[in-house]
Amino acid sequence: MNETPRPSWLAAIIILGAILAVMATTGWQFLSIQDSFEIKRLIEDAGPVQLTGQLAIFAAFGLACVFALLDRERRVAYVQLSHLLMFYALREADYHYELSDHAKATQFKRCFSHEMIPLSIKLFRVVMYRYLKAQRPVFLRSLRAQLPWAIFAFAWAVVFFLSQAIDQMPVFHNLTGQVFEEIFASGAEVLVLIAMILFRLQVNGDKVAGAGSRL
């Protein structure tokens, strides 16, 4: 991959800064609301925060499927990525919990246990680990070259693991913690989508530059 950033490094930092600023502003605005029930409504499954993240991650999953069909050179990587994003999207949408609740209310309750949920989360982590391990050399090389897609991928990792840390730490098991956990989780999903778009811009730009150099 060519090491000429597409778009420019400065443009990528401005976009990233804007996203982080929106996240911080949203959190501040939510916490300034006096009605705790209204805050919970805004961050619940049907609220704007989670809906934004879910739309972004399902869009990223759709793009991965499309690129797997169109890009023969990277087809295997995109197929792996689409599986990862599928697990990611379903996990963030809490479909595993909905499936469990549905199973308990039907004749399938004997075939599905709520205790299977940790297994699905572990499976997501295994798929993520295997994909990241395979793509690690490309990512590190691109990050050293300060390519925008790699910067956004790194930002996703930081924001995603912050959301998980907030979820696991008892000190954040309050309304403030819930607000920032949901904002960070949705922000991470938006960062995934933008990283995918920037990666395609980089690939397409490299193709155009390569074709021009052969003329």
pLDDT per position as a tens digit, 122-168 = 677 777 788 888 889 999 999 998 899 999 999 999 999 999 999 88
Q: Is 214 within the bounds of a domain?
A: no
How much is the pLDDT for 97? 54
Q: Is 93 within the bounds of a domain?
A: yes
> pTM for the complete prediction?
0.84
Q: Is 208 within the bounds of a domain?
A: no
Contact 83, 65 (CB under 8 A): no
Q: Is the sign of the CA dihedral 117, 64, 51, 7 positive or negative?
A: positive
Going through the chain in order, the beta strands assigned E by DSSP cover none
Output the CA–CA distances (angstroms, integers) from residue 152 to 12, 16, 149, in the order listed. Answer: 8, 7, 5
Distance CA 73, CA 209 (A): 18
pLDDT tens digit string along 46-94? 899 999 999 999 999 999 999 999 999 999 889 989 988 988 888 777 6
How much is the pLDDT for 180? 94
Q: Is 140 within the bounds of a domain?
A: yes
pLDDT band at 98, cuts 50/70/90?
A: low
- Where is pLDDT greater, at 31 or 121? 31
Q: Is 210 within the bounds of a domain?
A: no
Domain count, the chain: 1
DSSP letter for 107, please.
G
Q: What percent of the chain has pLDDT over 90?
A: 56
Tokens of residue 207, six digits: 């193709």
pLDDT exceeds cutoff 60 at 95: yes
Q: Is 212 within the bounds of a domain?
A: no
Output the CA–CA distances (angstroms, integers) from residue 149 to 30, 84, 105, in the order listed. Answer: 30, 18, 44
How many helical (H) and strand (E) elements, i.e. helices and strands, does the chain have? 8, 0
Which domain, by its residues, includes 118? 9-202
